[in-house]
Amino acid sequence: MMWLGKNGDNDRPHSGEEGADQFETERLRMVEDQIRRRDVRDPRVLRAMETVPRHRFVLPEDVPYAYNDNPLPIGYGQTISQPYIVALMTELLKLEPGHRVLEIGTGSGYQAAVLSELAREVFTIEYLEQLGTSARRRLRSLGYDNVRVRIGDGYEGWPDAAPFDAVIVTAAPESVPQSLVDQLVDGGRMAIPVGTHFQELYCMVKEGKDITSEKVANVRFVPMVGEGND
């Protein structure tokens, strides 16, 4: 049955559900033009990007621009990343359905929702209480039940839930926090932007005591604040 609720409950965030929300056409075009046509080809990642209702994660005045090829403000001086960067970083993690993943920098909760489509459990940490609280509420109302949001300092990671199969950092530290490397499983992968004014996105793979890292792209993220930079 087609149910058009007055309060936005006509959105259909989950892969299993049928029907199209009014933004589906824009979302499919976003994936084709901005993501697949560039270089992200993992079908599960593309499917997740086609599924998550990005317009539910932006400020009300930005809803018309939710599927544009750029980052958008989410309040408190923070931004939701450009869709392509979300897809690229997600692909680097090579997530499997049984995986547990840690995100640093919940922001709007959008990246966490994309991860939630691909992994078993998502743990995400946000430094700013207002953003963390609203992301938690938003994710719950959209039915992303496998995401846990913690308000805190991501430099410490989430020791009581570690180890993780993958870690994704969506604010830029000056160097890779050792605690996050420690909380990866052997073979675990991390996508992380590093730097101050100029930043590079790294893909790291933990191999026993060693860690390999590969530069993927030049990026621009908000700085990671808290312990590590004090």
Taking CB under 6 A as the rule, does residue 105 contact ligand SAH? yes
Please indicate whether residue 81 is annotated as part of the active site.
yes
Size of the site for ligand SAH (CB under 6 A): 25
Taking CB under 6 A as the rule, does residue 170 contact ligand SAH? yes
Q: How far is the CB of 47 from ligand SAH (least distance, A)?
A: 18
Q: How far is the CB of 131 from ligand SAH (least distance, A)?
A: 5
Q: Which of 81, 108, 116, 134 is catalytic?
A: 81
CA dihedral 31, 37, 43, 46 (to 10 degrees): -20
Q: How far is the CB of 106 from ligand SAH (least distance, A)?
A: 6
Q: Which of 13, 157, 195, 226 binds ligand SAH (CB under 6 A)?
A: 226
Task: Point out which residues bind ligand SAH (CB under 6 A).
Answer: 74, 78-81, 104-105, 107-108, 110-111, 125-128, 131, 153-155, 170-171, 222, 224-226
Q: Which residues are catalytic?
A: 81
